[in-house]
């Protein structure tokens, strides 16, 4: 829940000029304790490049901290202290890796070109920060390569502006050195292999804590427990008989796509389809790649991997884009030119079959990651993706692959970064926020493709390489936009307080950061009602004048919904208690239905009419809404008529 800060009412008998000054100051801060209209926090060191900021409430005070990495291997935590955003902690990741490395392999600085992941990985009620390091190898200048690994931090104390974190027991994990030098970067280069994809957190084995999923250039997909040990059956690697020849840069998505009660790992690779080393050996076609769906025990989900026409650097997004009640998987493809078929965006059903109307062709390669949001407000998720390369196009399609009105949109600057989708202006419509390595401004595109001009009110002073973050960070009930970049040559974070009073929530923040959430699960399921069957009141004759029936109303999606029950279809013969309410994610409300049976004959069924169950967000019906429920009543000797039948 959002913690709102009380307004400060000033009752002063002052001259007009002073009164106007006070009013101006209150207007600029919106609420006492709210973030300023804009603030630049200069962090020092080298710039933030490809690490997109994330936010979470690390110390449980109702305000969210900002976490981001930098080009020189620094990781930073910013908190809202004394009405100002402040750097409260930082560390050089290379020093953590050095603790596990021989002296000859240690480095003074590292590289964090990925977005941090945040989640309660050990289920102790406290959040951890997970960092991947190392990045892409520089084949031509191996001395520029940085050691790769995975680091997990936990909070020790959060006093004022001097916070303390420690490396969690069992960490770091230091990558092997298998590549980075020689032809095709296929030989060891004296530097531990880099990880150029953000970690993803999720429970893949049903043990009620979160596993950490990574992919790297060493041709392996890894899954770790919170204590640093590898999950049984992992990593996915050629040495274990898995048909994988290359690694990749695609962050995983995590969701139970096959509805077996356990989450699966969905991840793109640079690895071509391959039948393994067994005869007859078929030379692989390295112009093709594969997207994998992997069970927690490391076995493949039937129908996977699926084949794409080029490498997958894009990180997959998961959601119901065609309104069929099941999720689909969406990802972009392509990292190199000269191969037209690789310029596509794919969508598959959970069984690996393509969604009708997909893949969609584009005018360039698509290494950027898609976002899912109901951009046209028709109740079904749409696909939004920037080209992710040196091109200027923003695409938006519905689930059938049709262009949304106003799209594709052509910008004035190239759009290499993953998009953010949020309602930042309070107009009940969503906006798409983009950044560019050719501009220091944020580009804001409306839901209908209009007004896509450079937003001069959100200027960072330098070009931007990572995605924006939108959230209510300071707990004032309004949204902030955050961009990581530089001030001059130093790392800096820019915080822009949005002028509208838009409240946080899934309806306004469907895709507020890279991979949707701080755990980077890449999954979006809007609020959704459980399906309810017909009601059968069974009343024992002589046991009173009122028959009752109980039912659970549940939000089986994400976010918040408002529900209500309309009994008028029964001429108000049936009454519901309660008949309306609000439900958060996975929350249920038991409803008791009752009917007076005095006027109904015994030993026969009576049709009472229909009840309507509705779930709404912002006055609009959600998935599985409305539902029309038939109601019937039977009065008689229930214990006699409905005895179980047992036969041999």
Residues 6+ apart with CB under 8 A from 538: 547, 634, 638, 642
Residues 6+ apart with CB under 8 A from 528: 555, 556, 557, 561, 615, 622, 623, 624
pLDDT of residue 509 exceeding 70: yes
pLDDT of residue 545 exceeding 80: yes
pLDDT of residue 353 exceeding 70: yes
H/E/C letters for each residue in 79-128? EEECCEEEEEEEEEHHHHHHCCCCHHHCCCCCCCCCCCEEECCCCCCCCE
pLDDT of residue 505 exceeding 90: no
Contact 521, 54 (CB under 8 A): no
Nearest of 117, 124, 134 to residue 175 by alpha carbon: 134
pLDDT of residue 325 exceeding 50: yes
pLDDT of residue 6 exceeding 80: no
The number of C-alpha atoms within 13 Å of 602 and in the hemisphere containing its C-beta is 10
Domain segments of the chain as ranges:
38-497, 529-636
- Residue 463 has what pLDDT? 84
- pLDDT band at residue 278 under the 50/70/90 scheme: low
Cα–Cα separations (whole angstroms), residue 633 to 201, 623, 629, 637, 643: 49, 29, 13, 13, 18
Q: What is the pLDDT of residues 518-536, one digit of tens each?
A: 999 999 878 889 989 999 9
- Give the domain 38-497 fold: Methylamine Dehydrogenase; Chain H (2.130.10)
Contact 71, 46 (CB under 8 A): yes
Q: What is the pLDDT of residues 195-227, one digit of tens each?
A: 999 999 999 999 999 999 999 989 999 999 999
pLDDT of residue 594 exceeding 90: yes
pLDDT of residue 645 exceeding 80: no
Percent of the chain at pLDDT exceeding 70: 90
pLDDT of residue 88 exceeding 90: yes
Q: Are both 38-497 and 529-636 of the same fold? A: no
Contact 109, 146 (CB under 8 A): yes
Check residue 378 and report its DSSP letter. Answer: S
Percent of the chain at pLDDT exceeding 90: 68
Other CB atoms within 10 Å distance of the CB of residue 303: 15
Q: Which residue did the predictor score with more confidence, 91 or 190? A: 91
Query: In 16-27, which positions are buried (b, 16+ CB within 10 angstroms) versus exposed (e)?
Result: eeeeeeeeeeee
pLDDT of residue 32 exceeding 90: no
277: its two tokens: 């080393």
- pLDDT band at residue 339 under the 50/70/90 scheme: low
Specify the CATH class of 529-636 in words: mainly beta
Contact 576, 592 (CB under 8 A): yes
pLDDT of residue 430 exceeding 80: yes
Cα–Cα separations (whole angstroms), residue 364 to 197, 344, 371, 372, 389: 22, 8, 18, 21, 8
- Residue 272 has what pLDDT? 93
- pLDDT band at residue 18 under the 50/70/90 scheme: very low
- pLDDT band at residue 56 under the 50/70/90 scheme: very high
Mean pLDDT value of segment 243-263: 94
Q: What is the pLDDT of the chain when averaged over all its residues? A: 88
Contact 532, 613 (CB under 8 A): yes
Contact 422, 508 (CB under 8 A): yes
- Residue 15 has what pLDDT? 30
Q: What is the pLDDT of residues 399-417, one digit of tens each?
A: 999 999 999 999 888 887 8
- pLDDT band at residue 337 under the 50/70/90 scheme: low
Three-state secondary structure call for residue 63? coil
Q: Which long-range contacts (CB under 8 A, 24 or more apart) does 283-290 make?
A: 284/245, 287/339, 287/342, 289/248, 289/333
* First-to-last C-alpha distance (Å) of the chain: 56
- Residue 621 has what pLDDT? 86
Cα–Cα separations (whole angstroms), residue 218 to 47, 407, 573: 27, 39, 68
Between vectors from CA 326 to CA 322 and to CA 332, what angle results, nearest 5°? 60
Task: Give burial (CB, 10 Å; 0-12/13-18/19+) of 598.
Answer: exposed
Least confident of 68-72, 280-284, 451-455, 457-461: 451-455
Nearest of 594, 591, 601 to residue 529 by alpha carbon: 591
pLDDT of residue 388 exceeding 90: no
Mean pLDDT value of segment 26-38: 40
Q: What is the pLDDT of residues 439-495, one digit of tens each?
A: 888 889 999 998 765 566 788 888 888 999 999 999 888 899 999 999 999 999 999
pLDDT of residue 29 exceeding 90: no
- pLDDT band at residue 633 under the 50/70/90 scheme: very high
- pLDDT band at residue 647 under the 50/70/90 scheme: very low
Least confident of 35-39, 163-167, 210-214: 35-39
- Residue 556 has what pLDDT? 86
Nearest of 518, 498, 521 to residue 508 by alpha carbon: 498
d(CA 464, CA 466): 6
Output the CA torsion sign for 507, 512, 517, 523.
Answer: positive
User: Is residue 54 within a helix (H) or strand (E), and if so which, with residue range?
Assistant: strand 54-56
pLDDT of residue 568 exceeding 60: yes
H/E/C letters for each residue in 184-247? HHCEECCCCCCECCCCEEECCCCCCCCEEEEECCCCCEEEECCCCCECCCCCECHHHCCCCCCC
- Residue 452 has what pLDDT? 63
């Amino acid at each position: 829940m959002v913690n709102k800060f009380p307004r400060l009412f000033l009752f002063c008998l002052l001259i007009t000029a002073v009164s106007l000054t006070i009013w101006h100051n209150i207007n600029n801060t919106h609420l006492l304790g709210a973030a300023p209209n804009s603030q630049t926090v200069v962090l020092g060191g080298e710039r933030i490049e490809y690490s997109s900021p994330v936010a979470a409430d690390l110390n449980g005070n109702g305000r969210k901290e900002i976490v981001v990495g930098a080009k020189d291997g620094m990781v930073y935590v910013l908190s809202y202290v004394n009405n100002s955003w402040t750097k409260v902690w930082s560390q050089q990741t290379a020093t953590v890796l050095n603790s596990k490395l021989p002296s000859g392999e240690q480095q003074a600085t590292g590289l964090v070109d990925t977005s941090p992941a945040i989640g309660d990985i050990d289920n102790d009620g406290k959040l951890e920060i997970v960092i991947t390091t190392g990045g892409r190898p520089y084949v031509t200048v191996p001395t520029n390569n940085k050691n790769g690994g995975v680091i997990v931090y936990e909070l020790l104390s959060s006093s004022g502006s001097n916070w303390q974190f420690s490396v969690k027991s069992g960490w770091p994990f230091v990558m092997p050195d298998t590549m980075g030098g020689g032809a095709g970067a296929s030989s060891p280069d004296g530097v531990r292999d880099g990880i150029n994809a953000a970690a993803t957190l999720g429970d893949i084995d049903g043990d009620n804590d979160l596993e950490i999923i990574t992919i790297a250039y060493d041709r392996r997909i890894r899954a770790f427990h919170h204590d640093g040990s590898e999950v049984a059956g992992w990593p996915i690697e050629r040495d274990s008989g898995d048909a994988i020849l290359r690694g990749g840069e695609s962050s995983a998505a995590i969701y139970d796509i096959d509805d077996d009660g356990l989450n699966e790992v969905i991840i793109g690779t640079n690895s071509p389809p391959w039948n393994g080393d067994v005869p007859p050996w078929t030379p692989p076609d390295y112009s093709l790649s594969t997207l994998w769906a992997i069970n927690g025990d490391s076995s493949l989900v039937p129908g996977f991997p699926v084949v794409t026409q080029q490498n997958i650097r894009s990180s997959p997004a998961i959601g119901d884009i065609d309104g069929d009640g099941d999720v689909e998987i969406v990802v972009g493809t392509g990292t190199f030119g000269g191969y037209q078929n690789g310029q596509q965006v794919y969508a598959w059903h959970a069984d690996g079959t393509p969604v009708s109307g997909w893949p969609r062709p584009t005018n360039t390669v698509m290494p950027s990651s898609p976002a899912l949001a109901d951009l046209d407000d028709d109740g079904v998720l749409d696909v939004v993706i920037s080209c992710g390369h040196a091109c200027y196009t923003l695409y938006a399609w519905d689930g059938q692959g049709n262009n949304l009105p106003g799209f594709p949109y052509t910008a004035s600057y190239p759009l290499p970064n993953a998009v953010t989708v949020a309602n930042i202006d309070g107009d009940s419509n969503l906006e798409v926020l983009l950044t560019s390595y050719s501009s220091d401004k944020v580009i804001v595109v409306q839901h209908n493709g209009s007004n896509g001009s450079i937003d001069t009110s959100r200027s960072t002073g330098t070009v931007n390489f990572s995605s924006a973050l939108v959230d209510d960070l300071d707990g004032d009930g309004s949204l902030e936009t955050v961009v990581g970049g530089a001030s001059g040559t130093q790392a800096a974070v820019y915080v822009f307080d949005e002028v509208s009073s838009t409240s946080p929530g899934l309806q306004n923040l469907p895709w507020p950061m890279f991979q949707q959430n701080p755990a980077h699960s890449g999954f979006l399921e809007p609020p959704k009602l459980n399906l309810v069957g017909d009601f059968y009141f069974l009343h024992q004759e002589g046991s009173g004048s009122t028959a009752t029936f109980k039912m659970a109303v549940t939000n089986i999606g994400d976010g918040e919904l408002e529900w209500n029950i309309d009994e008028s279809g029964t001429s108000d013969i049936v009454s519901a208690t309660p008949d309306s309410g609000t439900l958060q994610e996975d929350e249920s409300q038991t409803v008791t239905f009752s009917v007076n049976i005095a006027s109904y004959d015994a030993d026969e069924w009576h049709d009472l009419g229909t009840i309507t169950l509705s779930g709404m967000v912002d006055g609009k019906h959600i998935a599985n809404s409305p539902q029309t429920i038939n109601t019937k009543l039977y009065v008689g000797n229930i214990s006699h008529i409905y005895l179980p039948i047992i036969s041999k």
